[in-house]
């Protein structure tokens, strides 16, 4: 059966979360004069934050922790690495990070072009995101890409995250799409590639950070425009 429905992951596949997070944290860092007050270099701080945040998101994906734990710990644990034990400061960063990140809506290079191209080819487009429900739709809206999607599914809507098959089942049901006519495009090896494969739909791995993971027969791209080679 011919592919009719394309499901996109959102963060770091279309919406450049890494870049937007970097810019947001830099704004907060400078506003609170962290370098002056604590003698912490921003690039070092961001590197530690990124490492901790990625690890916590993996634990959320695997069901080990919930989003409340992540929100309490990602900045707190980062500051602790620099021997700053200040819950009030870390909570300030967390609350303002979630609020201010939507001031930055950079998209991954080629995102709008490829969405326009796929629309012109009469594919029906959707989003399946592991992000928080309260920000997923706003990210799409504020970056101007919401108009391309028939449905937007966030993990909080279902109560599970990719690679759990229930989120795929929910999203395909919402889209009124069969497995045989659906394909997922995403950047996370476990959540997107393994998740889609285990669920039984085709997948394109967006190897945006050039992890060079190899699997025979797997459709792989390193730039969004390469989607045209497959669709």
Q: Where are the domains of the chain?
A: 5-15+107-229, 17-101
**17-26, 60-69, 84-93: segment of lowest average pLDDT:** 60-69
- Is 62's pLDDT higher than 90? no
Residue 92 — pLDDT band, cuts 50, 70, 90?
Answer: very high
Residue 186 has phi, psi (to 5 degrees) of -160, 165
CA angle 51-219-156, nearest 5°?
Answer: 50
- Is 196's pLDDT higher than 90? yes
Secondary structure E strands in the chain: 5-8, 124-129, 149-154, 182-186, 202-206, 219-221
DSSP class of 225: G
Question: What average pLDDT does the segment 50-70 reach?
Answer: 93
Task: Give CATH for domain 17-101.
Answer: 1.10.150.240
Alpha-carbon separation of residue 165 from 184, 207, 215 (angstroms): 13, 22, 21
pLDDT of residue 162: 95
pLDDT of residue 231: 96
- Is 106's pLDDT higher than 90? yes
- Is 152's pLDDT higher than 90? yes
- Is 213's pLDDT higher than 90? no
Q: Do domains 5-15+107-229 and 17-101 have the same CATH topology?
A: no
Mean pLDDT of the chain: 95
Residue 224 — pLDDT band, cuts 50, 70, 90?
Answer: very high
pLDDT of residue 211: 78
CATH superfamily of 5-15+107-229: HAD superfamily/HAD-like (3.40.50.1000)
Residue 75 — pLDDT band, cuts 50, 70, 90?
Answer: very high
- Is 201's pLDDT higher than 90? yes
Are the beta carbons of 128 and 7 closer than 8 angstroms?
Answer: yes
Torsion sign over Cα 109, 111, 117, 121 = positive
Q: Which residues of 17-33 are buried (b: 16+ CB within 10 A; e: fewer)?
A: bbebbbebbebbbeeee
């Amino acid at each position: 059966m011919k592919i009719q429905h394309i499901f996109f992951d959102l963060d770091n596949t279309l919406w450049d979360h890494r870049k937007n997070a970097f810019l947001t944290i830099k704004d907060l860092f400078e506003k609170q004069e962290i370098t002056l007050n604590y003698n912490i270099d921003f690039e070092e701080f961001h590197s530690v934050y990124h490492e901790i945040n990625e690890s916590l998101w993996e634990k959320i994906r695997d069901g080990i922790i919930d989003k409340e734990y992540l929100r309490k710990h990602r900045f707190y644990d980062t500051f602790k690495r620099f021997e700053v034990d200040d819950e009030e400061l870390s909570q300030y960063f967390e609350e303002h990070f979630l609020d201010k990140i939507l001031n930055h809506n950079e998209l991954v290079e080629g995102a709008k072009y490829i969405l326009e191209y796929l629309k012109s080819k009469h594919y029906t487009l959707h989003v399946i995101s592991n992000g928080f429900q309260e920000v997923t739709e706003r990210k799409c809206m504020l970056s101007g890409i919401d108009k391309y999607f028939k449905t937007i599914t966030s993990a909080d809507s279902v109560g599970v995250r990719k690679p759990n098959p229930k989120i795929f089942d929910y999203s395909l049901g919402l889209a009124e799409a069969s497995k045989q006519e659906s394909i997922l495009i995403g950047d996370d090896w476990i959540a997107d590639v393994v998740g889609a494969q285990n669920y039984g739909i085709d997948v394109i791995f967006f190897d945006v950070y050039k992890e060079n993971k190899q699997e025979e027969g797997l459709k792989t791209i390193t730039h969004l425009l390469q989607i045209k080679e497959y669709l």
